[in-house]
């Protein structure tokens, strides 16, 4: 009997995770963006601190006006009573773009992916620590350890480059973007999986 989940169970699980993450964090699910932010956690923490200090639009405007007065003098700042246009109020202002999810949320997402994969491997009896990629990889690609490392490293770099070029990965585009019917995500996902099918057929023919 196969140790893999049936396709419909995997689909339900992915949909539950994607919808749950979006509802709880009010952000789209994306593994590559979470990984990038965690790698640059020092810069992200500084951005979060600045967001906390300047999250209020009125406080930001006052801080900018004060900095302008210090740099260029009082006359450089328009007088609210004369030169400045009347404030249309919060309701008429354009909506601010959503800020990124808190860094701790992104870190928790990555840890959950690792823990979930580990639990699934342990419970299915498929967990195994090994130095190669398995018999199928050795037969189709290479069983030479040095070549294997070079192939995996090159593939990882290309995946990272492609992810940045496409503005997201299979989770951000395939799960979140396609679920929201974003045209760019539908196109990106078609390229992802279309390429995967072609490569699988080519490798299958070589084996």
Q: CA-CA distances (angstroms) from residue 97 to 27, 55, 204?
A: 12, 12, 46
Per-residue confidence (pLDDT) for residue 111, from 0 to 100? 93
Provide the residue ranges of all domains of the chain, joining segments of one domain with +: 1-129
Best mean pLDDT range from 100-109, 128-137, 171-180, 198-207 = 171-180
pLDDT(35) > 60: yes
Tens of pLDDT along 96-117? 555 667 888 889 889 998 998 8
pLDDT band at 31 (very low <50, low <70, confident <90, very high): confident
Q: Which residues have CB under 8 Å from 160's CB, separation 6+? A: 32
User: What 3 state SS string does 115-163 have?
Assistant: HHHHHHHHHHCCCCCCCCCCHHHHHHCCCCHHHHHHHHHHHHHHHHHHH
Helix (H) or strand (E) holding 9: helix 7-25
Predicted confidence (pLDDT) per residue in 69-94, tens digit: 777 776 655 555 444 555 555 555 55
What's the whole-model pTM score?
0.65
pLDDT attached to residue 73 = 72
| 57, pLDDT greater than 60 | yes
Rounded mean pLDDT, 158-163: 88
User: What was the pLDDT predicted at 82?
Assistant: 47
Q: What is the pLDDT of residue 71?
A: 76
């Amino acid at each position: 009997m196969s140790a893999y989940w049936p396709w419909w169970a995997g689909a339900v699980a992915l949909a539950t995770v994607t919808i749950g993450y979006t509802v709880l964090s009010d952000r789209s699910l994306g593994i590559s963006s979470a990984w990038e932010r965690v790698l640059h956690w020092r810069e992200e923490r500084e951005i979060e601190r600045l967001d906390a200090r300047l999250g209020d639009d009125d406080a930001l405007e006052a801080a900018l006006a004060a900095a302008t007065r210090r740099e260029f003098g009082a006359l450089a700042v328009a007088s609210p009573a004369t030169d400045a246009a009347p404030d249309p109020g919060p309701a008429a202002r354009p909506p601010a773009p959503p800020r990124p999810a808190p860094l701790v949320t992104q870190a928790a997402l990555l840890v959950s992916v690792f823990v979930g994969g580990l639990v699934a491997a342990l419970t299915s009896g498929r967990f195994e620590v090994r130095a190669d990629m398995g018999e199928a990889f050795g037969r189709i690609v290479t069983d030479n350890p040095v070549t294997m490392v070079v192939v995996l490293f090159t593939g990882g770099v290309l995946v990272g480059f492609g992810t940045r070029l496409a503005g997201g990965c299979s989770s951000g585009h395939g799960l979140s973007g396609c679920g929201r019917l974003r045209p760019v995500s539908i196109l990106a996902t078609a390229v992802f999986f279309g390429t995967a099918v072609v490569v699988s057929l080519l490798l299958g023919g070589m084996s």
